[in-house]
Structure 1
Amino acid sequence: MQSTRFILINTSHAGNVGATARAMKVMGFSDLVLVAPRFADVLCHEEAIAMASGAADILARAQVVPTLTAALEGVDFACATAMTPRDFGPPTHEPRSLFADLAAREAAPRLALVFGSERYGMSNEDVYRCHAVLSIPTHPDYGSLNLAQAVQLLAYDLRQAIGGFTVQPRAAAPDAADARAVQGLLEHLQAALIDIGYLDPAAPKKLMPRLNQLFNRAGLTHEEVHILRGIARQMQKVAPAAGSR
């Protein structure tokens, strides 16, 4: 299933082809086949390349074929995409559960995901050639997806079914300032506030304890303590000038 083929039938907008290539690449897929697109040169169209945005290699390897039969060559299990189930034809499935079932098989099939044209979707005849129909769960009052959006959603669900990608861990969190550093900051800040006339040492009320609680909730790092002490130093530098005006 890693080599799943993405098949676009009668695509009319070059931008959708490029956006499809991008959606495939970010999920680790590369096999793109176009069936009788509106423009024969769509793979090298300026808009397609622009929308591919770094996935031009997918476009370069893509194939253009005249029929769905040709596009399905070598495929074991083809999935049509449709907004609503057909009265007749292959069974309709929610993508995530079907992909999980296919991935769990002892011999996972060579899969194809088939998408219809932007205006008309897939014809009944093309749907009948497939083994299953995928219907993306959407809001019942408006289930219309852009072609590349549908590709992205299915590519994501498929990638999750076959193992996903490891999320890169974030860089180690900066060292938290210890209580001594925070108390030193509070003492420095208290002096600066007195210098600029904001804090009356004769009637301090609860300003410093409140600031202490604020800093404790914030979980200051050593770098942040240095920044705040730098601000306090600058306050003390300008305090005499401020008092003289």
Structure 2
Amino acid sequence: MKTRFVLINTSHAGNVGAAARAMRVMGFDDLVLVAPRWPDVLTREETVQRASGALDVLERARIVATLDEALDGMSYLCATAMTPRDFGPPTFTPREHLPALAQSPHSVAFLFGSERFGMSNDDVYRCHAALTIPTDPQFGSLNLAAAIQVIAYEWRTALGGFRSVRAEPVEAPLADARAVAGMLAHWERSLVEIGFLDPAAPKKLMPRLNQLFNRSRLTPEEIHILRGVAKSMAEAAAKAKP
């Protein structure tokens, strides 16, 4: 199953190397960094040393400017967030959620926030699920690479160990995260045009719609239909104006 690990605004080069090592021992090699602190983080000495030989992961890794770029081609997003967000996706432990996900046709991205601040609310809102790792309530802080190791292990276990690495999807492909985000932006503009959404007081309408569409498991064809609906709403609103 296609799997990607996405690190957002990583500030410590050593954590990137350690993340590559954690992924490699579990058989994963798709690593994308979103706007890391160091533009040359993939080749810094500390990164290479902490990778402990997982150089193939670093060589394949990509640095991108935005989360949209990092999620291109991925259809199911898992946030890693210790604290559940209001109006955010449902929160599960990895062991609760990943076995069922492993049986789906999705391409899966695991998102990790910065070492200091974790994931932003907006980034969590666009995810289908939030994963929280059970820890001692008196000391729940996990190092970034340690969290990646736990998630990578649980995901590999859910996939059946190394015997299921080449399992093929059995259902129709789903729309990727970029397509869903583009459709939501189109809907937001149209909802403003018809007066349903007040941009000055949007409340939580768009995060709620985001979660609704995530639960719908949209296909690319359904994205086109929903964009057509948004276009028709905007056109009808324009004709109704005096």
> What SS does the corresponding residue of 1:40 show, helix, strand or coil?
coil
Measured against aligned partners, the alpha-carbon deviations of 1:14-57 in whole angstroms (never above 9, x if no partner) come to 00000000000000000000000000000000000000001011
Give the letter aligned to residue 21 of structure 2. R
Alpha-carbon separation, structure 1, partners of 2:160 and 2:51? 25
2:95 & 2:82 partners in 1: Cα distance? 15
- Counterpart residue identity of residue 154, structure 2: D
Partner SS state of residue 51, structure 1: helix
Aligned with 1:137 (options 134, 137, 143): 134
Q: Which 4+ residue blocks in structure 1 deviate beyond 6 angstroms? A: none
TM-score by length of 1: 0.65
* Aligned residues: CA RMSD: 1.0
**Residues 1-245 of structure 1 aligned to structure 2 (within 5 Å):** 1=1, 3-105=2-104, 108-165=105-162
For residues 43 and 139 of structure 1, the distance between their equivalents in structure 2, rounded to whole angstroms, comes to 33
Identity %: 65
Larger CA Rg, structure 1 vs 2: 1
Bigger relative contact order (CA 8 A; separation at least 6) = 2
The residue type paired with residue 48 of structure 1 is T
Deviates more, 1:91-100 or 1:5-14: 91-100
| Shift of residue 97, structure 1, vs aligned partner | 1.9
Q: Which runs of 5+ in 2 are unaligned?
A: 164-242
Taking the aligned partners of 1:78 and 1:165, their CA distance within structure 2 comes to 22
**By how many angstroms is 1:165 displaced?**
3.8
The whole-number CA distance in structure 2 between the counterparts of 1:91 and 1:67 is 24
Q: Distance in 1 between matches of 2:115 and 2:47?
A: 15
Aligned residue type for 2:141: S
SS in 2 for 1:50: helix
What TM-score, normalized by structure 2, do the two folds share?
0.66
How many residues are matched?
163
Query: Match for residue 230 of structure 2?
Result: none
